[in-house]
């Protein structure tokens, strides 16, 4: 165990951030403007995983900064959460597919190790998969988002036990008011889910209460917007 696990984790995330920005493991590395590593609180219990960067994300190098990102922030605010403080937000692919086409299997294969490493380092208790693509990949099931949305699933991701919470993608909610309403309803369940998972995971560690905690990674400037 490293002397300062939080610092070791931060250092590894920073190293991976630079690696992703140099990455050419798939053809998308040659057509992107910017790689989009992820942003938020590297110590969060909650992670959101989308599909791939869009045009605005590609331009800014940050995830969910277009209209869908604005909606995500609004929905988080409605449940008393804020992306920089309470969540880590990223995508399956770190580079934008041209014209926002679907990710190709070989691109997912090449990029997936980055997501898995992010999960191992950040150790979220709850992962919200946004949309069909992320949901099918992380649940390992072909069942579509309409049937599984809003239902927590206990799964193993990157070797860690996590609760997956499939949600509609905010971009789909922008197109269809009924989807937005369902997404809003599902968001209401997030705080209790995180509280429950945090409580269950922390129970054996109550004896540690009162000991100095790790440095606060919530404002890891490199990743926050
Ligand atoms: S999409 Fe992933 S694997 Fe492909 S170049 Fe970008 S970072 Fe590398």
- Which domains occur in the chain, in start order? 5-202 (3.40.470.10)
User: Do residues 38 and 71 lie in contact, with contact meaning Cβ atoms separated by under 8 Å?
Assistant: no
Ligand 1 centroid – CA 107 distance (Å)? 7
Distance 34 CA to ligand 1 centre (A): 11
Distance from the CA of 127 to the center of ligand 1, in angstroms? 21
The residue whose CA has the least distance to atom 4 of ligand 1 is 26
pTM of the predicted protein model: 0.89
Report the percentage of the chain scoring pLDDT > 70: 88
Strand order in the sheet with 160-167: 39-40, 87-91, 46-50, 126-130, 160-167, 153-157
Q: Is the CB of 20 under 6 A from ligand 1?
A: yes
Does the Cβ of 94 fall within 6 Å of ligand 1?
yes
Q: For ligand 1, atom 5, which residue shows the shortest CA distance?
A: 29
Asked whether 26 lines ligand 1 (CB < 6 A), one says yes
- What integer pLDDT is reported at residue 223 of this predicted model? 53
User: What is the rounded average pLDDT of the residues 47-66?
Assistant: 96
Sequence-distant (6+) residues with CB within 8 A of 4 are 214, 215
Joined tokens for residue 99? 């014209």
Q: Per-residue pLDDT tens for 57-76?
A: 999 999 999 999 999 999 99
Q: 47 in ligand 1 pocket by Cβ < 6 Å?
A: no
Q: Is the pLDDT of residue 8 over 60?
A: yes
Q: What is the pLDDT of residues 166-208, one digit of tens each?
A: 999 999 999 999 999 999 999 999 999 999 998 887 665 444 3
Q: In the structure, what pLDDT confidence band is assigned to residue 55 with cuts at 50, 70 and 90? A: very high
Give 205's DSSP letter: G
pLDDT for position 204:
53
Q: What pLDDT, on the 0 to 100 scale, is given for residue 130?
A: 98
Question: In this structure, what token pair is assigned to residue 34?
Answer: 């910017």
Confidence of residue 1 (pLDDT cuts 50, 70, 90): low
**79 has pLDDT over 50:** yes
The pLDDT score that the predictor gives to residue 135 is 97
């Amino acid at each position: 165990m490293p002397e300062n696990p939080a610092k070791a984790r931060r250092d590894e995330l920073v190293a991976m951030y630079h690696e992703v920005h140099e990455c050419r493991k798939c053809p998308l590395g040659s057509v992107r403007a910017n790689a989009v590593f992820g942003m938020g609180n590297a110590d969060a219990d909650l992670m959101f995983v989308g599909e791939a960067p869009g045009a605005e994300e590609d331009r800014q190098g940050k995830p969910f900064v277009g209209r869908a990102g604005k909606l995500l922030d609004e929905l988080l605010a409605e449940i008393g959460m804020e992306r920089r403080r309470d969540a880590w937000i990223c995508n399956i692919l770190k580079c934008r597919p041209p014209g926002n086409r679907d990710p190709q299997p070989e691109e997912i294969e090449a990029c997936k190790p980055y997501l898995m490493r992010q999960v191992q380092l950040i150790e979220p208790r709850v992962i919200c998969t946004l949309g069909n693509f992320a949901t099918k990949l992380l649940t390992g099931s072909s069942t579509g988002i309409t049937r599984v949305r809003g239902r927590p699933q206990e799964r193993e991701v990157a070797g860690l036990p996590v609760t997956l919470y499939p949600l509609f993608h905010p971009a789909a909610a922008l197109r269809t008011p009924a989807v937005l309403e369902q997404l809003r309803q599902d968001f209401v369940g997030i705080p209790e889910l995180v509280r429950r998972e945090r409580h269950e995971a922390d129970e054996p560690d109550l004896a540690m209460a009162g000991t100095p905690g790790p440095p606060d990674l919530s404002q890891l400037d490199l990743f926050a917007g």
